[in-house]
Structure 1
Amino acid sequence: MDETQRAQLFELADLIMAIGRHLQVAKADEGESWTPLESAVMRYIDHRPGSTATQAAEATRLISSNFSRALRKLEQKGMVRREADPQDARRVRLHPTRKAGENLRHLEDTWSRLLAEAVPDTEETETVVSMLRQIESHLIARTGRG
């Protein structure tokens, strides 16, 4: 990797972090107060309903105490419910609640409005989303979790 590519990749990561912060603030402005850890756990459960706590903790790369605390808070907020595994009652599966679904739709509206002015071109949006998915997939594969 040459210095130009290194600088561009650093800027990409820096911009992702900055944009993420703006999205978090917009979420908080709408009355949603979540920690970044809670957001990571909820995102995983939204994308993979029925996952076990162990799977979610490993995929989000959180130590068990931090994961447990985030999960407890999400349960207290009515966003996650635990269900016994039908094949093994000792195992618990995590599912988003109806309230979580409503919250996700509200978040989609908030973030879409926020970004619509910045990225009005659908083709550009598709290109950026595709690239970000590729980056995320690579990073997940690199860690062996996901």
Structure 2
Amino acid sequence: MPDDELLADFADLVLNVGRLIRAHIPAATELVTLNETERQVMRLIDLHPGCSPSDIAARGRLQRTNVSAALRSLEAKEMITRATSGRQVSVTPTRLAETNLLALRAAWGTELAHTLDADRETLRRCTELLRGLEQRLIEPPD
């Protein structure tokens, strides 16, 4: 199998597994529901607290208008706060966002514990691979 085919298969599986994990999480009323753009924006804010909306757009390869709409919605859901210093705006997650993420991670852990039978070393290596890939993909474009 050529490398580009292997990489395309890997990307396809990553996307589908993520979708399936989300689909298997039972609807929990204590979790704040986010759409795809809001999830992506929150992930970037969690990785880079205090980042600017422009930085979020650049790292996420998102249109600035979509980021602005997501930030307004996340603010209304009390998931983020924005602070302004001069002309610079910084975005940080709230306590509710942190609590929401902890509950979501607990649900993911429970779900995967029931469906995944892999040794810890394999999980660690896969996690490192995906974390490194994520970091390279969210590097601000030149």
State the TM-score, normalizing by the size of structure 1.
0.84
Could you tell me how far 1:5 is from its partner in structure 2? 2.8
Q: Is the 8 A contact 1:44 1:60 kept in 2?
A: yes
Corresponding position of 1:21: 19
Cα distance change, pair 57–140 in 1 and its aligned pair in 2 (3 A): closer
Aligned counterparts, 1:66-145, within 5 A = 66-85=66-85, 89-117=86-114, 118-141=116-139, 144=141
Higher relative contact order (CA 8 A, sep 6+): 2
Change (3 A) 1:110 1:137: same
Compute the TM-score of the two structures, normalised by the length of structure 2: 0.86
- Asked if structure 2 preserves the Cα contact closer than 8 Å seen for 1:41 and 1:70, the reply is yes
Mind listing any 5+ residue stretches in structure 1 that lack a counterpart?
Answer: none
Separation of aligned partners in 1, 2:49 and 2:136: 22
Cα distance, 1:27 vs. partner? 5.1
Q: Distance in 1 between matches of 2:25 and 2:56?
A: 23
Moved more, 4-13 or 58-67: 4-13
- The Cα of 1:92 is off from its aligned counterpart by 1.5
Matches of 1:129 and 1:122 in 2, distance apart?
10
Q: How does 1:45-64 map to 2 (within 5 A)?
A: 45-64=45-64
Change (3 A) 1:119 1:54: farther
Q: Which moved more, 1:110-119 or 1:132-141?
A: 132-141
Deviations 1:40-96 (A, max 9, x none): 1001111111111111111111111111111111111110011123xxx22221110
Report how many aligned residue pairs link the two structures: 139
Q: Which amino acid aligns with 2:130?
A: L
Letter in 1 for 2:6: Q
Taking only aligned residues, the RMSD between alpha carbons, in angstroms, comes to 2.0
* Residue 59 to residue 119, structure 1, CA distance change in 2 (3 Å): farther
